[in-house]
Structure 1
Amino acid sequence: MKSKRLVFRDVEWWIITLVFLIIVLTNIVIAMSAYSYPMEKFFGIVVQPIVLYIGFYVMHLVIIPKYLKDKNVLQLILFSLLAAVVTGGLTGACAGVNDVDPERFFRFYFSTILLYAVYLVIANLLRKMFLPPIFKDYQLYNGIRLFMIFLFVSIFLFVSRLFVNEVILVILLMVIPCIAFFVFYNYFLLYRNKLKGNIKAYRWFLWGLMTILFLVFVIISAENNVPEIMLLGLGMIALLIFVIFPISNIVFGKYKDYIGKIDTLSVQVNQSSANLSFLRSQINPHFLFNALNTLYGAALMENAEKTSDGIQKLGDMMRFMLHENQMDKIPLTREIDYLRNYLDLQMLRFKNEENLEVEIKLSDDICEGSISPMLLIPYVENAFKHGISTKSKSWIKINLRCLQGSVHLDVVNSIHAKKQTEDPRDESGIGLENVKSRLAHFYPLKHNLTIVANDIEHFVHLSVQL
C-alpha cells in the first residue's frame, strides 16, 4: 500500500464484476423461489444488469484505455455516445418488459451515467492531489480511492432499485464490508501479533473484539426484547473464531510463503548476476594488466620478495572470487583478508601518486562470525574507482572495526567529475542496488546503510549484526 500504487482500473473491474454477479445470481434465486414468476419479468431482471455490465466493460476497459493511448477526443465522444445509446436502448427494453415507468427508467439511466462521469472526474483529481511527490508514499491515495469505490458502488445500488432489492443491499453493503473489516482486523491486530510472538496483545485484541460484539448483541436483544438476536450474536462470534479467522489465516500464510519464494528467487538471480558482473569487472583485463605491470616494475627495482608477495595476494583474491564468493556465508575473517589483499595491491599501484592521500584502519581484533560474501568490498572498490584523480587532490579513508557480534565499515572518498570519454557502462561490478537487496534478504532489520554525498566527498557507513 505504501510503496506501490494499486492498479485501480483492474480493481474497479473486479469489484464491479463481483457486484453484478451477486445481483444477477440473487435475482435468479428470488425469481425461481417465487411462485408463478412471469418468464418475461424474470428475463428482464436478469438481462438488464448483464447489459449494463457489458456497457461498463466497453466503456471502462475499451473506450477509455484507447483514448488514453491515442488522445483522440472526437473518437472518445463518438464511441461514448454510441455505447450509451446501445446500452440505454437494451436496458430500456428490459425495463419495458418489467412494466417500468419510462420516466423512472430515464432517471435511473441518466443518474448512472452521471454517477460514472463524476467518479472519473474525482479519480482524476485525486491522482493530481495525493500522488507522490506531493505525498511521500501511496498509502493515503490508495486508501481514498478504495473508499471512493465503495461509496460510489453504494450510491449506484440505491439508484438501481429497478433490479436491486433489499437482499442484495444487505449482502453488498453490510455482509461483505463486515467480512472485509474482520479480515483486515485479523491481519493487522491478530495474525501479525501472533506471528511476532506478541501473544498477550493477540489475546487482548481477540477477546476484546468478542466481548464488544457480545455486548452489542445483548444490548440490542434487551432493547427489542428479542432473545434470538443474542443467539445470532453468539453464532456470529462462532463464525469468526472457527471459520473467518482460520480461513483468512491460511490465506495470509500462503501469501507470505508466496512472497518469500519470490524474494528468495529474486535474491538468487541477483546473486548470480552479481557474481558474473563482479568477475567481469573486478577481474578484468584493465585491473589484471595494471596489477601485473606494477609487479613487473617492482621486480626490476628490487629482489623478488615483494613481487612474490603481490602475486600471492592476487592469487588469494582470485581463489576467493572463484570459490568462496559462491557461498551464502563465509567467515568474516576471509572477507577481511580479501579486503586487505585488495588494498595492498591498490597501494602498490598508487603508492607514487602525489595527489592521493590514503588512510586505512582495519581492525586488528579477532572478528568472529560469518557474513555474506562481497558485502563490504564493493564500497571500497567504488572509492578507488571514483575517488582518485591524477590531476586533482584526492583522498580515501577506510575504517573497518569489529565489535561484539557486529562489523562496521566507514568509507570516505573524494569526488571528481567524470571524463567525457569515460564509458557510462563502466560502473561498479556489483552495484549498490544489488548490495542493498542482499542486505535486506540476509540481514533484515539487522543492518544500517547510510550513503551521503556532496560536491566534493562521498561517505558510506555500513554496519551489520552478524
Structure 2
Amino acid sequence: MKLNDFKKIEFWIASIVLIIVALILVFDTNKRSDNGEHYEFIVSKITYSYFFNFFLPRVFNIFAVYVCFLCLNFWLIPSITQKKNEWLSYFMIIVLIVGLGIVFAVGRTHSHTYELLRYNSLTQGYNRFFFDAFTKAFLLVLVLAAYSCIKQLIIYLVDRMADEHSLQKQLKMDLGLGIGFWFAGVLFWVSTRSYFQLTVLWTLVVLATLGTVIYAIYYLLPALHQKQKKFSTFFWTIFVISLLLTLPLSVLAIFFFQRDVEAAFILLAFHLPTQLLIGVPLSWFVYKKRSENRFELNTLRTELGKSDANLHFLKSQINPHFLFNALNTLYGTALQEHAERTGEGIQKLGDMMRFMLHENLQETIPLIREVEYLNNYIALQKLRTSPAADIKIESLIEADINDLQIAPMLLIPFVENAFKHGISLQRPSYIKISLQVQANVLYFDVSNSINPKNEHDPEADRSGIGLANVKQRMYLLYKGRHDLIIRENMNEYFVHLTLTL
C-alpha cells in the first residue's frame, strides 16, 4: 500500500464516521432523543429548542473536529515534519485551537445554557465555559497531532525497511488489521449509540495495545532474541511500558470523562489486562510463528542458492573420467617432450577441474582446499600472461591456515573478475591479491587496474560465477557474518571482504 493510498483511506474513514454520526443525529430528530438534556432546561425554566440547543451544537462540534483532523493530518503536521513553512504551520495550529475552542464554547452556551445559572454571574459562567472549551480544543488538537506524528514515524520506519520488502509489506498489513479492528469497534459503539466515553476508552486501549504489539514484534522481540533473552524478560519489559503509558492515557481519559478521576481507574482496569493478557501472548506467538516460517524460508533459499550456483558445474560432469584421462595423457606427453611449463599448467588445470567436479558439491570444504584452488588459478593466469612484461601479478596468500571450513567457490569470483577486467596484453596492468586469517576471521583483498577488453582476449566473453551470484550466496550462508566493500574509479577496482568462518 502506497502513502497516497493510505491517505485516501484515512480521508474516507474520517468522512464515513462524520456521515454516520450526522445521520444518527438526523434520525434522532424524529424522536427528539437528546439524552434527557431538555429536562434540565425545563427545571431551570429556560425555553428549549431541540434544533438550536441540541442538534446544531452537536453538528458544528463534529464538523469542526473533522476539519481539524484533515488540516492537521494532511497539511500542518506533514509540513512540520518535512520542514516546509514551519512557522506558518505552527501559527495555523494556534488558529485551529482558537477556532475549535470558540466552536466548542459557543456550542456549549446553547446546549448547556442552564449551567450558567449555577455561577454567581453570567461573566463567571461564560469564563468557565470558554476556559473548558479552549482546554478541550487544545487537548483534542494535541491528540490528533500525536496521531499524525505517530503515523509519520511509522512511514519513516517503513521507508527505512525498503531493502526488506517482505518485512515492509508485513508491517503495513499488521497496521491495517489493527486500525481496521479499532475502526470496527468505533462503528459498533457509534451505531449502538453508546456513550461517547466508551468510544474514547475503546480508542485509547486498542491503539495503545496496537502500538505495543507492533513495537514488540518488529523491534523489541528481535533485539531480545539476538541477546538470547527469555519470555520473562519480554513480559516485564512490556509491563513497564504499559505502566509508563498509563499516565498519558489516564490524563486523556480524565479529560474526556469530564475530569472524573475515576476514569483513570476505569482505564487502568482495561488497559493493563489488555496489554498483558492479549498484547503480550499475541506478540510472542506472532513473532515465534513468523521466525519459524522465516527460518524455513531462508533454509529453502539457501539450498536453492547453492543449487543455482553449482548448476553449471553439475553440467560439466558428462564424462569426467574421459576428461581426466585426456589430461593425464597430455601431461605425460609434455613431460616426455621436456615441456615442463606446459606439464605444470596441465597438472594445475587437472587439480582445478577435480576440485570443481567433486569438492565444489559439498556444503563446506577446508579453507586450505579453497586456497589451493586460488593458487592454481593464479598460477595458470601467470603462465598465460608471462610473455607480457608490463603485467604485474602479486599474490600474498597466507600459507599457515587453521582448520577452518568455508563454502566452496566463494573467493574465486573476485579473482576471476580481476583477471577479466584488470589484465590487458597491450597496456600496463596489475593485480594484487591478499588473503590473511586471524583467529576465525578471513581478510581478503583484491585490487586491479581497469582496462578496456580486447575482443580477441579469451577472458572477454567469460562471465564466471558472477559477483551477483557470490553476493547472494554470502547473504544466504554468512548473513551478519560478512562485510563486503567494493570500490571503483576510472583506473582501479578494489574489493575488501571480511568473513567470519
2:238 aligns with 206
**Most deviating of 173-182 and 417-426:** 417-426
The answer as to 2:398 corresponding to 1:333 is no
1:184 aligns with 214
The answer as to 2:296 corresponding to 1:261 is yes
User: Any idea what SS the aligned residue of 1:138 has?
Assistant: helix
Deviations 1:122-178 (A, max 9, x none): 99xx99x9xxxxx999339999xx99xx9xx99xx99xx999974895488434422
Contact (CA 8 Å) 1:396, 1:414: kept in 2 or not?
yes
The answer as to 2:176 corresponding to 1:138 is no
The match for 2:408 among 370, 373, 379 is 373
1:239 aligns with 274
- Equivalents in 2 of 1:450, 1:375: separation in Å? 15
Amino acid paired to 1:208: V
Structure 1 residue 430: Cα displacement: 2.2
User: Any idea what SS the aligned residue of 1:409 has?
Assistant: strand
Structure 1 residue 348: Cα displacement: 1.9
Gaps of 5+ in 1: 1-5, 32-36, 42-99, 130-134
Change (3 A) 1:246 1:276: same
1:414 aligns with 449
Structure 1 residue 216: Cα displacement: 6.9
- Equivalents in 1 of 2:10, 2:473: separation in Å? 37
Change (3 A) 1:359 1:424: closer
Structure 1 residue 211: Cα displacement: 3.6
The answer as to 2:349 corresponding to 1:317 is no
The answer as to 2:401 corresponding to 1:401 is no
1:197 aligns with 227
- Equivalents in 2 of 1:317, 1:381: separation in Å? 14
Structure 1 residue 195: Cα displacement: 0.9
Change (3 A) 1:458 1:333: same
Which has the bigger relative contact order, CA under 8 A and spacing at least 6?
A: 1
Amino acid paired to 1:369: L
- Which structure would you say has the larger Rg? 2
User: Any idea what SS the aligned residue of 1:444 has?
Assistant: coil
Amino acid paired to 1:434: N
Structure 1 residue 433: Cα displacement: 2.3
User: Any idea what SS the aligned residue of 2:497 has?
Assistant: strand
Amino acid paired to 1:193: A
Contact (CA 8 Å) 2:450, 2:493: kept in 1 or not?
yes
Change (3 A) 1:301 1:411: farther
User: Any idea what SS the aligned residue of 1:439 has?
Assistant: helix
Alignment of 1:384-463 (within 5 A): 384-419=419-454, 426=461, 428-463=463-498
Structure 1 residue 370: Cα displacement: 0.5
- Equivalents in 2 of 1:299, 1:459: separation in Å? 38
Structure 1 residue 440: Cα displacement: 2.0
Number of residue pairs aligned between Structure 1 and Structure 2: 361
Structure 1 residue 250: Cα displacement: 1.2
Contact (CA 8 Å) 1:368, 1:405: kept in 2 or not?
no
1:73 aligns with none
1:80 aligns with none
Contact (CA 8 Å) 1:361, 1:399: kept in 2 or not?
yes
User: Any idea what SS the aligned residue of 2:227 has?
Assistant: coil
Amino acid paired to 2:160: Q
Contact (CA 8 Å) 2:235, 2:280: kept in 1 or not?
no
Change (3 A) 1:299 1:137: farther
1:344 aligns with 379
- Equivalents in 1 of 2:200, 2:416: separation in Å? 65
- Equivalents in 1 of 2:198, 2:245: separation in Å? 24
Structure 1 residue 304: Cα displacement: 5.5
- Equivalents in 2 of 1:425, 1:259: separation in Å? 40
Change (3 A) 1:217 1:9: closer
Structure 1 residue 424: Cα displacement: 12
TM-score, normalised to structure 1's length?
Answer: 0.60
Amino acid paired to 1:138: D
Contact (CA 8 Å) 1:398, 1:410: kept in 2 or not?
yes
- Equivalents in 1 of 2:334, 2:372: separation in Å? 24
Change (3 A) 1:323 1:162: same
- Equivalents in 2 of 1:217, 1:397: separation in Å? 64
Contact (CA 8 Å) 2:367, 2:401: kept in 1 or not?
no
1:66 aligns with none
1:299 aligns with 334
Structure 1 residue 387: Cα displacement: 0.9
- RMSD, aligned α-carbons: 5.5
Contact (CA 8 Å) 1:23, 1:168: kept in 2 or not?
no
Structure 1 residue 383: Cα displacement: 0.9
Contact (CA 8 Å) 1:274, 1:429: kept in 2 or not?
no
Amino acid paired to 1:183: V
Change (3 A) 1:175 1:425: farther
Contact (CA 8 Å) 1:447, 1:465: kept in 2 or not?
yes
- Equivalents in 1 of 2:12, 2:286: separation in Å? 22
- Equivalents in 1 of 2:212, 2:157: separation in Å? 29
Alignment of 1:59-138 (within 5 A): 138=159
- Equivalents in 2 of 1:16, 1:250: separation in Å? 33
User: Any idea what SS the aligned residue of 1:299 has?
Assistant: helix
- Equivalents in 2 of 1:198, 1:248: separation in Å? 17
The answer as to 2:398 corresponding to 1:363 is yes
Amino acid paired to 2:380: L
Structure 1 residue 331: Cα displacement: 1.0
Contact (CA 8 Å) 2:488, 2:494: kept in 1 or not?
yes
